[in-house]
Amino acid sequence: MSGWIAVAGLGPGAQALITPEVSEALAAATDVIGYIPYVARVAQRPGLTLHPSDNRVELDRAAHALTLAAQGARVVIVSSGDPGVFAMASALFEALEAGPPEWRALDLRVFPGITAMLAAAARAGAPLGHDFCAINLSDNLKPWPLIERRLRLAAQADFAMAFYNPRSKSRAEGFARTLDILREECGPDRLILFARAVTTPEEQLAITTLGQATPDMADMRTMVIIGSSQTRLIDRPGRPILYTPRHAA
Ligand code: SAH
């Protein structure tokens, strides 16, 4: 049996949001590789070896997957959300590019998943209904001044913005700085959504303004979405609807 390798997105958390194509790949796999909490979402079964690893070893993990597939294994690399959004698909191709030429002949596929910003946006209404951008706020893989430049330019272009990895314990000041920059560029009344652990039993949503937002409203399980100048609320019983109209002002 010849090997293959699939990079698959497990979606934001709920089982119902895993695509059938990803479920089929997992059912056919001999090996599942990924970050510990993502591999924990895959059920054990006979004939399947799980390879959980720490978050900081993406390239080693990708090389491991390619080596196994080259030996005939059917390997699924799992990511949360979508594997192409701040996740393993690019790490796999980086390892492929740097690796032995025979890896390029492998059967390689990327199976998309529902990324966190889309799940969070859907819960709140439609804040990404007009032009938007997505920014990873972690400065692990890029310098902070580049993040700051992108924040300012995107705010000046009046994009709605979706922020991944907003705040970790080791870089708590980055998100405080982000809120300061956004307040300078957008003013205190701009709407902002904090969507934590969306589609899991721990889900929490908060909609507020930049003037009211505090850094501790975000952690590493939170998706932050800031509206454009046109984003607004529809009041109704329970939580209001947050949406951005499809036309520009
Ligand atoms: N590939 C993933 C993103 C990985 S980066 C995707 O497409 O969703 C990890 C970041 O995604 C987290 O820090 C958080 O900002 C966001 N995230 C992932 N799952 C989430 C969820 N269920 N609810 C809210 N944010 C989530």
Which CATH number characterizes residue 103's domain? 3.40.1010.10
Are 183 and 232 members of one domain?
yes
How close is the Cα of 2 to the center of ligand 1, in Å? Answer: 33
Are 85 and 188 members of one domain?
no
Are 160 and 68 members of one domain?
no
Are 97 and 154 members of one domain?
no
Across 46-59, b (16+ Cβ under 10 Å) vs e yields eebebebeeeeebe
Domain boundary among 94, 114, 134: 114
- In contact, 248 and 130? CB cutoff 8 Å: yes
Are 238 and 132 members of one domain?
yes
- pLDDT recorded at residue 144: 94
How close is the Cα of 191 to the center of ligand 1, in Å? Answer: 20
Q: Which two tokens stand for residue 153?
A: 């330019």
Residue at 175 is within a domain: yes
Cα torsion through 123, 124, 130, 133, rounded to 10: -80
| Domain of residue 61, residue span | 4-114
Domain boundary among 90, 114, 138: 114
Across 228-240, b (16+ Cβ under 10 Å) vs e yields bbbbbeeeeeeee
pTM comes to 0.96
The residue whose C-alpha atom lies closest to atom 17 belonging to ligand 1 is 116
Residue at 64 is within a domain: yes
Residue at 105 is within a domain: yes
Are 237 and 127 members of one domain?
yes
- pLDDT recorded at residue 100: 96
Count of the separate structural domains present in the chain: 2
Are 22 and 77 members of one domain?
yes
Domain boundary among 53, 87, 114: 114
Are 89 and 122 members of one domain?
no
Residue at 249 is within a domain: no
CATH number at residue 217: 3.30.950.10
- pLDDT recorded at residue 1: 59
Instruction: Tally Cβ neighbours within 10 Å of residue 177.
Output: 16
Are 177 and 75 members of one domain?
no
Are 80 and 100 members of one domain?
yes
- pLDDT recorded at residue 57: 85
Strand pairing of 125-126 and 107-111? unpaired
Are 155 and 222 members of one domain?
yes
Question: What's the average pLDDT block by block, 10 residues per block, for the chain (249 residues)?
Answer: 92 98 98 96 96 87 95 97 97 96 96 98 98 95 95 98 90 91 98 98 98 96 98 96 93
Are 155 and 40 members of one domain?
no
Ligand 1 residue neighbourhood (C-beta within 6 Å): 12-13, 79-82, 85-87, 115-116, 120, 164-166, 195-200, 220-223
